[in-house]
Amino acid sequence: MAGRRRWSTEEILDAAAELLRTSDAESFSVRKLAAALGTDSSSLYRHFRNKTELLRAVADRILLAAMEGHTSEGDWKQRITSLALRVREAFGQQPQLATIWGLYASSGTGSRLVMEEVLQALRASGLPDEEVPVHYHRIAVLIAALIASEAGAGAVTPVEREQGMEHFRVAVLGADPELFPSLAHFARDIRPLGADRRTAFEDILAAQLAHVEATFRPSRPTDPGA
């Protein structure tokens, strides 16, 4: 009798990513993945010690894809913005995995490449070294939160999206001005959360980077004629 097929690490990650397209981190299990591959869980534990390690590896592949071909160009703010948009786009193609990234922070090569680029950019900004880790953490949390939020909206079906829009219109345009005076006043200008997400992403990130810039004064060469 022929033995069971031996699956490579990459094949296991491919199958896990595919399974996660139709499920989430909570319902995902090594047992379900093994069943999809036609094998038993023990064969997968030869590659990954547990579910968390497997999910981290899946998320890290998205970061690796985002960093593929990436070049550091522009000033420090442009570098961070470019990187953030690349990561956003990569997870946008597989939105279910964005939540995985937020829940199970990767520590693989992809993650380290992203961290290195952000840290290098912050050092190039002129920040003192002792302040770099603090601002790195805030930027990382912001980017991860924005991408996870956007991914959650992207996972909504067209029917659910239209139902949500209808509820939004009723709630906002039909707001009682006596109970919600400000909402009624701005009703025709308030937009749903799903509108212009890329612009909102860039604006929020730009505001954070401007805050970083406001905390220091980049060193300038001394004018010999001064």
Terminus-to-terminus CA distance in the chain, angstroms?
A: 87
Q: Is the pLDDT of residue 173 over 50?
A: yes
Q: Are residues 148 and 115 in the same domain?
A: yes
Asked whether residue 225 is domain-assigned, the answer is: no
Asked whether residue 81 is domain-assigned, the answer is: yes
Domain that holds residue 23: 7-48
Banded pLDDT at 222 (limits 50, 70, 90):
very low
CATH of the domain at 95: 1.10.357.10
Asked whether residue 53 is domain-assigned, the answer is: no
Asked whether residue 57 is domain-assigned, the answer is: no
- Separation between Cα atoms, residue 101 and residue 60, nearest integer Å: 8
Q: Which tens digits make up the pLDDT trace of 123-141?
A: 999 999 999 999 999 999 9
Q: Are residues 42 and 138 in the same domain?
A: no
Q: Are residues 24 and 74 in the same domain?
A: no
Q: Are residues 131 and 204 in the same domain?
A: yes
Q: Are residues 85 and 161 in the same domain?
A: yes
Asked whether residue 220 is domain-assigned, the answer is: no
Q: Are residues 35 and 77 in the same domain?
A: no
Q: Are residues 116 and 42 in the same domain?
A: no
Q: Are residues 43 and 66 in the same domain?
A: no
pLDDT of residue 103: 74
Q: Are residues 142 and 191 in the same domain?
A: yes
pLDDT: which is higher, 195 or 36: 36
What is the chain written as a DSSP string?
A: -PPPPPPPHHHHHHHHHHHHTTS-TTT--HHHHHHHHTS-HHHHTTT-SSHHHHHHHHHHHHHHHHHTT----SSHHHHHHHHHHHHHHHHHTSTHHHHHHHHS---SHHHHHHHHHHHHHHHHHT--GGGHHHHHHHHHHHHHHHHHHHHHHHTS-HHHHHHHHHHHHHHHHT--TTT-HHHHHHTTT---TTTTHHHHHHHHHHHHHHHHHHT--------TT-
CATH of the domain at 20: 1.10.10.60
Asked whether residue 118 is domain-assigned, the answer is: yes
Banded pLDDT at 156 (limits 50, 70, 90):
low
Asked whether residue 43 is domain-assigned, the answer is: yes
**Region 37-47 average pLDDT:** 90
Q: Are residues 180 and 207 in the same domain?
A: yes
- Per the structure, how many domains does the chain have? 2
Q: Are residues 24 and 99 in the same domain?
A: no
Q: Is the pLDDT of residue 1 over 50?
A: no
Asked whether residue 223 is domain-assigned, the answer is: no
Q: Are residues 38 and 81 in the same domain?
A: no
